[in-house]
Amino acid sequence: MWTDLWRLLTDWLRQNPEIVAAFLLGILATVTLLIYCWFWLRKPSSRDTELALRFRNEELERETSQLRQQNADLRLELRQLQQSYTQARSETASLWERLQASLREVQQLHQQLVCAQTALEQSRQRELQDREIIQALSEELEGARESQQQYLDALHQVKTERDSLRQRLEARQSLEQFDGRIWQRQPVENSPAFVPLTRRRMRILAMVNLKGGVGKTTLAAYLGAALCEMGLRVLLVDLDYQGSLSALCLGTRYEEAWRSRLLVDNFLRLQEPCFEELRRRVLVPDNWCDQSGAYHVVAAEDTLQPTEELLLTRWLEGRSDMDVRLILRRALHDPAAWPKYDFVLLDCPPRLSTACINALCCCDYVLIPTRLDKLSANGVIRVLRTLKILARGSDATFPEGDHTPEAVPAICPHLEVLAVVPNFVIRRNNAPIRAQAAILNSLPKQCQDSWVGPVFVWPDGIPESAQFSTAELRTFFTRSRQGLGDYFRDLAQGLLLRMKEIENARSGIAAICAGTR
């Protein structure tokens, strides 16, 4: 577009040059006229010029007077400044002197600071030395403390050994007082009390004879089965380390009891033996056919013997707070046990061991199985003498020539001999052979003389038979009533009647005593 415009303008100028020249001359004339007017208007008149010069002179005079005044003021200020300068110079000199003094003080302080730093360095070195000394002393003190602790530990160990030796000495002295009768010691305080049958239904029977081979295990196993057949709940506790009752009753489950350590010796080792712990070790024989009652067994094996010795040793040396004779009493005389069972049968070993004394201290009745021979009969007499001492203590009386140690407590005052049960009876024409019959007839009188009171002797006895070793316990009572099972059924019935007679007699005596009071 601009190109076209420019081309149009140039073409027009080429065609009309006179018009362009006239236009330029007009512009030049106009500019010249304007310049002339401006100069004419700027040219002043002579009067105005004088007035202007006068005003200018006056202004210059005023300015001159002002300058003079300013000059005077400046001179005054100069004098003041000179005075100030002189004063400032004197002050500067004073300040310089002070600065020099300050510099000297700073130098002195620097010297003192250097001395202080030197002293501090020396004190730090001494502190390090002191720390090393303190560290060495601390190590020596720690060593001394360790030595002291070792000494105190050794002293405590010596005191412990001394107390242990003193307890052993006192235990030996107490044993000497009892003339070897270790079980006749006075029960310790807080011992579990014997709960009489008037307050509980569960009866506890112990199979006891200090002679082996008289049939204690057989009597316990089959008497328990007969009671179970009558609908009663029976618990059998094997207290003989030979484990014969466990093997007879449990069969194949005896190995399970051994592997699982569900044994009576584990119970006796407990710090707090209670019925629940005993019940946790109960096993039921395999395929037990009778469902009317309950037949439970607590097994034992050969680890029971060292357990008995360990418990006895601790008790004699005074290292046990619990009376070792009353462990089973603590469990079976617990009210938690009474609703669970009607009978507890304890199979005792043929010696007065820890397990046997536990059975005697917690049982209500004692059954004494025996063979009908002279040695076994004499064994019954010795058992009765031992039981009388445990039951009556110093009040026990014997035939002429015997005596009881003085001040011997009765640790089993509630013990009652329920019956003497002849075992392995050889029968001819439904009667014992002559030799056994003679012993059977004389046995009640001998027992009465030893026990100083009537002792019931089961008249029928248990016959000798190979069926005891060949028949299985769970099938023994399923045979005809003409078999050996009838003997145990009759024995169970007779013992129940005997227990009722004894308990009724005790109730009558208790009522008479209460009426007398």
pLDDT score of 131 more than 50: yes
Residue with tokens 């070897």: 180
What's the DSSP call for residue 191? P
**Residue 38 to residue 40: CA distance in whole angstroms:** 5
What is the DSSP secondary structure assignment for residue 346, as one 8-state letter? E
Mean pLDDT for all residues in the chain: 84
Task: List, for residues 168-189, the tens digit of each pLDDT value.
Answer: 676 656 555 544 567 777 777 7
Alpha helices by DSSP H, 178-290: 216-229, 244-250, 253-260, 264-268, 275-279
Residue 227 pairs in a beta bridge with none
Beta strand ranges found along 32-118 (DSSP E) = none
d(C-alpha 167, C-alpha 192), whole Å: 24
Assess contact for 492 and 460: CB atoms under 8 A: no
Taking residues 242-255, report their average pLDDT: 88
Percent of the chain with pLDDT over 70: 85
pLDDT score for 330: 92
Q: Decide if 369 contacts 383 (C-beta within 8 A).
A: no
Cβ contact 494:458 at 8 Å:
yes
Give the integer Cα–Cα distance in Å for 389 and 367: 17
Identify the pLDDT of residue 2. Answer: 73
Name, of 172-181, 196-205, 470-479, the range with top average pLDDT. 196-205
3-class SS shares of the chain: helix, strand, coil, % to 5: 65, 10, 30
Helix (H) or strand (E) holding 418: strand 416-423
Instruction: Identify the CA nearest to 295 among candidates 333, 331, 245, 255.
Output: 245
Cα–Cα nearest to 356, from 210, 193, 195:
210
Q: Are 496 and 417 in contact (CB under 8 A)?
A: no
- Summarize pLDDT for 103-114 with one digit per residue, the tens: 999 999 999 999
> Confidence band (pLDDT; 50, 70, 90) for 115?
very high
- Split at pLDDT 50, 70, 90, the class of 477 is low
List, as one string, the DSSP characters of 271-320.
SS--HHHHHTT-B--TT----SSEEEEEB--TTHHHHHHHHHHHHHTT--
Q: How many CB atoms lie within 10 A of CB 373?
A: 14
Q: Higher model confidence: residue 301 or residue 188? A: 301
Region 44-50: what's the mean pLDDT?
64
Q: What pLDDT score was predicted for residue 402?
A: 54
Q: How far is CA 345 from the centre of its chain?
A: 35
Residue 210 tokens, joined? 């200090």
Q: Does residue 254 register a pLDDT over 90?
A: no
Give the helix/strand (H/E) hosting 514: helix 485-516
Burial (CB count within 10 angstroms: exposed 0-12, middle 13-18, buried 19+), residue 76? exposed
Phi, psi of 232 (to 5 degrees): -95, 150
Task: Say yes or no to pLDDT of 323 above 60.
Answer: yes
Band (36; pLDDT cuts 50, 70, 90)? confident
Q: Strand 427-428 to strand 431-432: parallel, antiparallel, or no bridges (unpaired)?
A: antiparallel
What's residue 234's pLDDT? 95
**Is the pLDDT confidence value at 163 over 50?**
yes
Q: How is residue 227 written in tokens? A: 């009671």
Tell me which of 351 and 476 has the higher pLDDT: 351
Three-state secondary-structure class, residue 456: coil
How many other CB atoms sit within 10 Å of the CB of residue 489? Answer: 19
**Per-residue pLDDT, 481:** 44
Structure tokens at 491: 């024995």
Residue 475: pLDDT over 90 = no
Section 31-49 average pLDDT: 71
Q: Provide the token pair at 321.
A: 């707070």
Dihedral sign computed on CA atoms, order 313, 317, 322, 325:
positive
pLDDT at 405 over 60: no
pLDDT of residue 513: 58
What b/e readout covers 229-266, taking b as 16+ CB neighbours within 10 angstroms? bbebbbbbbbbbbbbbbbebbbeebbeebbeeebbbbb
Residue predicted with more confidence, 346 or 43 = 346
Residue 451: pLDDT band (50, 70, 90) is confident
Q: Which of 42-51, 83-92, 388-397 has the lowest mean pLDDT?
A: 42-51
pLDDT for 183 equals 77
- Tell me which of 501 and 52 has the higher pLDDT: 501
**Model's pTM, two decimal places?**
0.66
Most confident among 45-59, 256-270, 458-472 (mean pLDDT)? 256-270
